[in-house]
Structure 1
Amino acid sequence: MKGLEGCEITTPGYAVEYAYLSPLQLNVFLEHRSIKGLFFAGQVAGSNGYEEAAALGLMAGINAALRARGKEMLVLDRTQAYIGVLIDDFTCKEQKEPYRMLTSRDEYRLALRHDNADRQLAEIGHKLGLISREQVERIKEKHARVTFQHEMCTEESGELR
Structure 2
Amino acid sequence: MSSIPNLGQIIWPEESTAVPKGWEIPTNRKKLKIGVLKKEGFEEFVQVKHDSVTNETIVTGYCIDVFEAAMKALPYNVDYEFIPFTKPDGESGGTYDDLVYQVSLGKFDAVVGDTTIRANKSKFADFTLPYTKSGVSMIVPVGDKRSKNNAWVFLKPLT
TM-score higher than 0.5 here? Answer: no
Comparing both structures, which one devotes a greater share of its residues to helix? Answer: 1
TM-score bucket (shorter structure): under 0.3
TM-score normalised by structure 1 residue count? 0.23
TM-score normalised by structure 2 residue count? 0.24
Comparing both structures, which one devotes a greater share of its residues to strand? Answer: 2
